Structure 1
């Protein structure tokens, strides 16, 4: 009896040991397969960020052959007390808070327009996506030629109709609006395709139910379509808000941060510190500050959206009578 009872236990323990050895072999094989990717990620992502963090606390300068010293928070203090930092921050915020909302509005209009087409929608959408597919440096050079004050076609047309054209990128008043215009032209298609996907995800029965209830197009859009597009708008807004802090190519090509410092945002200021003055320690500190600002800004946007989603449910039924009254009127 004891021998027969021990045999199943021995078999089970043998199977368990075999399964453990097999799992260990699978883990080793997985690590071996992932090793090149992990090494690539470490060399191109983790190590540069770690070294940037280290350099931001030192006096590292490439142009001056002096020993690198640990300065602690000295670089951060010198940056936040520099008026140039606050000027660059204000330009960045103005650029982001003007360009991104306009991209949302124009992208929403284009998405609604394309959603109304049943034939040729794919062709029109592909044509609208061309600016987004171009490299930023190509966009910068193209607009630089288009807005050239001497032989640019836009100024030639304006002179032909008797309008004195501005200097566009060379004018202190028009330089920043010009950059906003170029950014809207290039990245509105991205917002459009995100919102078009949101519109296409709304079931047709929603519109049918609204039509049966007597809701007109404007009421359906305001009370049904727009609330359902809020998650898509949030994604588009957050992604474009982050990208607007990193705009550099078109600024470098069109204005070089000028005239003066009127279009010098945080990204260009970081470039000027690191590769213009070779103050890598200060440039690293400014990069960390920019990362912190982006993180808190994104968290604030998501918190506002989350608060809206957690609004009291009692407010929803109150909208139904108003909608019904408006429909009856």
Structure 2
């Protein structure tokens, strides 16, 4: 018996190099317009800002632009006004950001323990973050008005002599911290709530079975697991604290005097108040360097903390091992 074999179908497989080239070409065709748009809106202005920081660029005076090198940077660093603005910026960041982390942690723990209506309560807490900063500034300006503001009227009605808040040299900076904390604490709350929801319930059950109370569980199991989320929230809020401008412009205009003039407002005043764009460019570059160094320092401290043991000494020895085993089982 003769067997007739059919010719097998020939499938043409394009070379991998051709497929890779076509994929790269398609990728660049799709990303090209977005990259051009991004470069036009961000890269080119930054390059021009960097160029202006090394020149004598002054818009109000019609003189030729000259290359001055690091003269603008030396003028800025040796200026007492810059040192004062830097100190105010650091004080604002080091007070407002930890306060927002602390209150945000409390709100996240509160919402994490609620089983019914959590989404509704979270939405209500997020309202300040959704409002435009300039609207927040105008609203608080009316609320804290020393003459017809409702807060001062209430304090006077109960027998207190309220301060002028934003118009007072002693209370202006704390007022800005209060307003910024009111607006951006919900952001920290959302980040930390996401961290709390990522912890499996079996970790809490294992700690409770092994005799750990709530405080021990929080400080020695939950809190170490939240360090990555705390780092993200702290870094983002630290960066934003250097860029606070809207509420300062609406509430205090950098005053009284220069008591609330941070680096962002100082840069605005030099660039659009005195039209010294070279000085304003140098200030912007210095702020970028300070933020980069500060962020790298925070991240390095966070990495060093991650290398340390996550569990505390106050826990019973079996609690940490049991909870860790439960967490590893949940992740697998």
**8 Å CA contact 1:107, 1:189 repeated in 2:** yes
SS at match of 2:239: helix
2:231 aligns with one of 223, 231, 234: 234
Query: What residue is the counterpart of 1:8 in the other structure?
Result: none
Task: Report the equivalent of 1:106.
Answer: 103
- Give the root-mean-square deviation of aligned CA atoms: 1.9
The offset of 1:263, in angstroms, is 0.1
State which drifts further: 176-185 or 208-217.
208-217
1:320/1:168 CA distance change after superposition, 3 Å: closer
User: What is the CA deviation profile of residues 270-329 of structure 1, one whole-angstrom value per residue up to 9, with x for unaligned ones?
Assistant: 000100000001100100000000000011011111111122x5x9585545798xxxxx
1:248 pairs, out of 229, 234, 245, with 245
Map of 2:92 onto structure 1:
95
> Partner residue of 1:194?
191
Partner Cα separation in structure 2 for residue 135 and residue 201 of structure 1: 30
Secondary structure at the counterpart of residue 287 of structure 2: helix
Q: TM-score, length-normalised on structure 2?
A: 0.89
Any idea what SS the aligned residue of 1:90 has? helix
Q: Point out where structure 2 has 5 or more consecutive residues left out of the alignment.
A: 1-9, 320-332
- Cα distance in 1 for residues equivalent to 2:311 and 2:184: 35
Give the match's secondary structure for 2:64. Answer: coil
Residues of 2 paired with 1:138 and 1:306: CA distance? 38
Residue pair 2:224, 2:311 contacting (<8 A) in 1 also: no
Aligned match of 2:216: 219
Measured in 2, the distance between the counterparts of 1:19 and 1:212 equals 57
Shift of 1:229: 1.1
Aligned counterparts of 1:229 and 1:116: Cα–Cα separation in 2: 16
Higher helix fraction (1 or 2)? 1
Contact 2:216/2:315 (8 A) holds in 1: no
Match of 1:142 in 2: 139
TM-score normalised over the length of structure 1: 0.90
Aligned positions, number: 310
Question: Aligned residue for 2:327?
Answer: none
